Structure 1
């Protein structure tokens, strides 16, 4: 069975672009799901939600670290180096994973254990999962990390450059169990007790802060940057883009993705949001009315902010692009409504999506009236939860 994209340097370039793209896309999907269920994460539960995101990114980085940029000298370590990676030998033995070159050290064992402890702790304290579900999820994560390390990022590399073994997988599962037990037995002993770790769904109607807006902008930039790198790497792997044309092709693809994400998609969406802003539940509304901004105003704002920043990045002027963004954000820092420079010029405001469409989180506790006839002794009803009372007899004397 052949390796993906023919192996070699072309496959490695695909891995270098696809791995960070998957991390950014996973973060966007995770934040979108949390917002849809609970609204914007806030308080201590919001901190734990961010901690879960960081823990997932740390596991992804551990699975592919150090993600070499070249195949030169990568698979010259052990006897299996020429044919691909695998599980390393036990401690004290020679490593068979290509490029690993050394047995597991105490530091690598501690890292394999420690990185999985937050998984168990958050599973109990934040997501309220029992021991069986937590162990199943932890075992699946540990096995997945082991497979990625053993196969050289699922075969994109010619060998497994990172040492791994069943012992590291078992230590990962043990770390998950230790984290769950710590959350179950030790956290309740904290002096004064800890606040609840799971969020409460609330209507997302508060004006978004600068941090939330920056998170959406960074997600957009990550999707465009790594998306263009991944697409160009794929085109190069299939010989669509020839040698020496990668820089020009990446510029064209980056500008194309920025046009689709910042210009085209907001015109089609009701909330006028880019993909990154939509992941954190933001949109663009009118200055004084709680409704989506007009397409003309949104397009003008894009031409004043996102388009110049994207063009400056492709021209190799990142600091000038940062200055454009900083000039826009300066107004958001000092104005009570959080309006930036481009917002003031175009007459729009960044608002939560719930403010624009009236939607509520799916986990929000809602009051529902009792169904017809649910109450004992209820007579005919005119509507849900409403029953008709008998009319008083005019011939019967009233009692005080």
Structure 2
């Protein structure tokens, strides 16, 4: 696999992992700051971790395989003569026909293209002007060049890549070009035209997004608790913890029951809180238990008690179908209990609690 392909794969995979880590906080901030989550802002936000890792991988990788031989030769060195790239282009052009196949042209163009998205992101996400964008470009490029010339800040005894002032020029030029073309992509950050505090319609996408947030929250909480348990076991015994089915069941039950506790305490799941949905009236205790059993609680219990079956997948499929085809997208649990669900920014129209299994 070529190094550019490998760098790209690292950036994409790492970016997706980072995006998954911050998915729920991102959704919560977007819904509260802008009133809703749009596809355009989601795509722009997903670009940030992928692009940040791409900058790191394309500028710092691959690391040298024989640093001793490199350092004996004096390292990669520095090039502090501005405009040297023009002379390199002329020299290469005299040896190989075709401007587009000129290695010096390709190198300069690649540096411009690599930093162009940074200018777009600064203007779209931060709404900054040309001066701030210029400073960001110079700062980011200088940081990369210094990281290279210092051997990753002393990790290697000498510079393994050339510090080139022309790279600084090309990178900064790319940032400014990105700032100039950013208005062409301004449609990506458009909202729905409503004030953030205005109630939104209940849509299939919003209901499914809340459910996805519940699943993501449960997964991350389970991973964190399992990691803490493993760290405590390793510290106490000095041995890596073996597979422990009992511990997995206890942790899984604890996570599942925490969702029931949230339903009893707040009347809604964490995912519903993130996307600002709620039942029209606070549910009774039996209703909350049924709601939990036919929702995230049932899904987590099936994953825990029948891990090798497809029951959890079937349950998830039925739940999704229920959201798609029930009235007001109430889904399986709300439909079974004859509850209604609404935007939590809507004014309360009822004050009598709903009893489980009775219509409001």
From 256, 259, 267, the equivalent of 2:257 is: 259
Alignment of 1:332 onto 2:320: no
Distance 1:165 1:223 in 2: 44
Equivalent pairs counted in the alignment come to 293
Measured against aligned partners, the alpha-carbon deviations of 1:281-325 in whole angstroms (never above 9, x if no partner) come to 233313xxxx44445423321122212211232342474212102
* Match in the other structure for 2:338: 347
What value does the CA root-mean-square deviation take over the aligned residues? 5.0
Describe the SS at the equivalent of 2:278. strand
* Match in the other structure for 1:207: 201
> Post-superposition shift, 1:52?
1.9
Equivalent residue runs for 1:138-287 within 5 Å: 175-183=174-182, 187=184, 197-199=189-191, 200-202=193-195, 203-237=197-231, 239-240=234-235, 242-246=239-243, 248=245, 249-260=247-258, 262-269=259-266, 272-274=268-270, 276-279=271-274, 281-286=275-280
Measured against aligned partners, the alpha-carbon deviations of 1:215-258 in whole angstroms (never above 9, x if no partner) come to 23223322332343344334434515853535534554344334
Distance 1:307 1:148 in 2: 48
> Post-superposition shift, 1:59?
3.3
8 A contact 1:138–1:176 mirrored in 2: yes
> Mind listing any 5+ residue stretches in structure 2 that lack a counterpart?
1-13, 69-74, 80-104, 150-154, 350-360
After superposition, the Cα gap between the structure-2 partners of 1:76 and 1:117, relative to the gap in structure 1 and judged at 3 Å, is: closer
Distance 2:147 2:287 in 1: 47
From 287, 301, 315, the equivalent of 1:311 is: 301
* Match in the other structure for 1:191: none
Distance 1:278 1:236 in 2: 31
* Match in the other structure for 2:24: 28
8 A contact 1:121–1:176 mirrored in 2: yes
State the TM-score, normalizing by the size of structure 2.
Answer: 0.60
Q: Tell me which protein shows more helix as a share of its residues.
A: 2
Distance 1:350 1:263 in 2: 18
Distance 1:146 1:297 in 2: 61
From 44, 47, 60, the equivalent of 1:52 is: 44
After superposition, the Cα gap between the structure-2 partners of 1:309 and 1:353, relative to the gap in structure 1 and judged at 3 Å, is: same
Distance 1:107 1:318 in 2: 53
> Post-superposition shift, 1:330?
1.6
> Mind listing any 5+ residue stretches in structure 1 that lack a counterpart?
1-17, 67-73, 81-86, 92-105, 151-157, 189-193, 359-400
After superposition, the Cα gap between the structure-2 partners of 1:331 and 1:304, relative to the gap in structure 1 and judged at 3 Å, is: closer
After superposition, the Cα gap between the structure-2 partners of 1:195 and 1:304, relative to the gap in structure 1 and judged at 3 Å, is: closer
After superposition, the Cα gap between the structure-2 partners of 1:234 and 1:216, relative to the gap in structure 1 and judged at 3 Å, is: same
Equivalent residue runs for 1:66-85 within 5 Å: 77-79=65-67
